[in-house]
Each structure stands twice: as C-alpha cells, then as structure tokens.
Amino acid sequence: MNQLLFFSNNKNKIIEIKKIFNKFNLELLSLNDLNISEEPEESGQTFEENAKIKSDYGFNKTGIPCFADDSGICIESLNWKPGVLSKRFLNNFRNNEACFESIIKNTKKNSKQNAFFKTSISLTVKDNHNLIFNGKIEGKISEKAKGRFGFGYDPVFIPKNYNKTLAELTTKEKNDISHRSIAVTKLINFLIN
C-alpha cells in the first residue's frame, strides 16, 4: 500500500497520528493535503459506526485506502456519557473551562470518579470492505482542570497509575499510553504484516 489517507481535519489528532506513523516509515496523507474540507454527518450510535461512515466517505471520494477514527470520553458520573457525543457536549458550553467545571462538580456530587477514553479506527480498503481497530484508556476525572498540552478533555482526565492529567503529558508521553495510539498501533501492525 503506497498511500494511505487519514480522514480528519483535527490538527491535534493529525499531529499525534503522523508522529506514530513516522516511526514506521509509512507515508500518511490527511484531508488538508488533498484540499478536502467537507465531512459526512456522524449519525452513528457507536464509535465504530461513526468511524466507518468517515473512512467509507474518504475512500469513496478519493479512491485511496482510508482510515478514520472516532473517539470520545465516557464518564461514570454522567452514566458513561457523553461517548459518541463528546464533541457536541463540549461545544454546548460557552468554553472548555465551563464544561470542565460542570464535569468536576458532577463527579464530586456523585462520588463517582471513573472515566475512560475510547477510539475506534475504521480502515476502508475497497468498496464495502472495512476493518475496525479499538483502543481504550481507563482513568479518572481530576479534581481540577490542569495542563496545557493535548486537546479536548485532556485537562480533566488522569490515566490509571498516573498523577498527572493527559494535558500535563507531552505528545510523546500521551502517545505511549493513549486510546488513540493503542488503536493506531493495532492498525499499523495489520498494515505491516
């Protein structure tokens, strides 16, 4: 496989994933490289369904083997939501800090600290043929939002066996343990074997 397209416009995700691919000497294109800005509606009920919608769309549009990820955070004190609605949930607040405050308040009120991030990657290599690779990282909601690295919910998530939030870890440190890197590593192992 000479070329592979990563179907995402999220700059932070592209940086994280390109770093992992560089280690394996694989050439990766992103939507930016092909001047594609439109994305399909993420109407699935699960991370797997949404990832497939995006990787099928990318493959059908370009003819290049394409993978897409769909990810999010599941929070115990919110009955394991927002899940697939993570992006919309964050955007419903006036800013990220207001969202973090609300999550932390709920977590304290319900005395339920657990949370996890999940990523599903779908790889579409030909019409009607896709494969799924999953990754998960368990942890808890922090007592305060902390850190300036990463994106999204990183400032309020402390991985299991750590005492720092994901936003206090460098990209390399996050990539050593993250849900996305677990799923991407499974994808790469599939590609190189």
Nearer to ligand IMP, 4 or 90 (CB): 90
Query: How far is Cα of residue 14 from the mean position of the Cα atoms in its chain?
Result: 10
Containing H/E element for 123? Answer: strand 114-126
Query: How far is Cα of residue 21 from the mean position of the Cα atoms in its chain?
Result: 16
Site for ligand IMP in 17-56 (CB under 6 A): none
x/- letters, 144..163, toward ligand IMP (CB under 6 A):
------xxxxx---------
Q: Which residue reads 């677990």 in tokens?
A: 182
93 scored as a contact of ligand IMP (CB under 6 A): no
Q: How far is the CB of 151 from ligand IMP (least distance, A)?
A: 6
Residue 144 structure tokens: 């305060």
Active site residue 154: no
Q: How far is CA 25 from CA 2, 16, 18, in A?
A: 11, 15, 10
Of the residues 56, 69, 70, 154, which is catalytic?
70
Q: How far is the CB of 31 from ligand IMP (least distance, A)?
A: 12
x/- letters, 171..190, toward ligand IMP (CB under 6 A):
-------x-x----------
DSSP 128-170: TEEEEEEEEEEEEE-SS---SSS-TTGGGEEETT-SS-GGGS-
10 scored as a contact of ligand IMP (CB under 6 A): yes
- Which spans of this chain sit near ligand IMP (rule: CB under 6 A)? 10, 69-72, 86-87, 90, 117, 150-154, 178, 180
Q: Which of the residues are catalytic? A: 70
